[in-house]
């Protein structure tokens, strides 16, 4: 059976499939290849509360990782970050939802994106997994929401704070790094045609990132 596709479709498919384990793919699909669905965190739709209302009971404070997460909560309460609203899962303090507003004077301004933050049990030895849940057009973010930044890879240390990570993600929207692009297609577009690149940024923002915090 002939599989209809073009080079662009194959590149997009490869980039997305590279971030999805084989067990998550639909084995019943045949014929035309479709993009796998975006990976959704298991706790994404569980109730969450605003950072200022979040409390962790004494019974939960039993591991070094939880103590470090509490420290992050305390720091963010004491020094709220502009452009970010933080929500903590009611059932699991290791899972946060973050609403990020696009930085002013950029093509992302006035857009709002939902990000998920999943702290590993070995935090802070291992960095949190942070992904864009809301689709965003950016050369350093793939179609599954994975973010490419050194602070989440080789430059991570136990002293790195979540505030630093979020600030770097915001800075990435201000200054994309096409030389370390996670999406080959978007990186190439950024280098070859900034007008086309930012046209797509605006299109995706208007299509996906206009919801209010309540929504």
Task: Please list the active-site residues.
Answer: 148
| Cα-to-chain-centroid distance, residue 190 | 20
Strand partners, 129: 118
Name the residue among 207, 78, 176 with its Cα closest to residue 86: 78
Q: Are 135 and 126 in contact (CB under 8 A)?
A: no
CA atoms within 13 A on the CB side of 46: 16
Give the separation between CA 97 and CA 132, rounded to whole angstroms. Answer: 10
DSSP E strands, 40-183: 48-50, 84-89, 95-101, 112-118, 129-132
CA 43 to each of CA 70, 140, 168, 209: distance values in angstroms, whole numbers, following the listed order: 19, 25, 25, 21
Give the separation between CA 170 and CA 101, rounded to whole angstroms. Answer: 9
Where b means 16+ CB within 10 Å and e means fewer, 152-165 reads beeebeeebebeeb
């Amino acid at each position: 059976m002939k599989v209809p596709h073009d080079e662009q479709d194959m590149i997009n498919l490869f980039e997305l499939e590279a971030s999805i384990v084989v067990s998550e793919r639909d084995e019943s699909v045949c014929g035309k290849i479709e993009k796998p669905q975006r990976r959704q965190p298991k706790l994404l739709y569980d109730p969450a509360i605003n950072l200022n209302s979040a409390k962790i009971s004494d019974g939960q404070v039993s591991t070094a990782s939880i103590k470090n997460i509490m420290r992050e909560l305390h720091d963010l309460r004491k020094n709220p970050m502009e452009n970010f609203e933080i929500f903590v899962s009611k059932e699991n303090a290791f899972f946060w939802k973050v609403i990020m507003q696009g930085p002013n004077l950029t093509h992302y301004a006035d857009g709002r994106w939902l990000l998920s933050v999943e702290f590993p049990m070995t935090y802070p030895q291992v960095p949190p997994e942070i992904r864009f849940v809301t689709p965003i057009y950016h050369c350093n973010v793939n179609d599954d929401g994975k973010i490419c930044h050194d602070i989440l890879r080789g430059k991570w240390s136990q002293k790195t704070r979540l505030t630093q990570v979020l600030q770097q993600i915001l800075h990435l929207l201000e200054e994309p790094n096409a030389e370390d692009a996670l999406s080959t297609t978007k990186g190439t577009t950024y280098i070859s045609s900034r007008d086309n690149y930012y046209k797509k940024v605006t299109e995706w923002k208007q299509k996906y990132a206009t919801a209010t915090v309540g929504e």
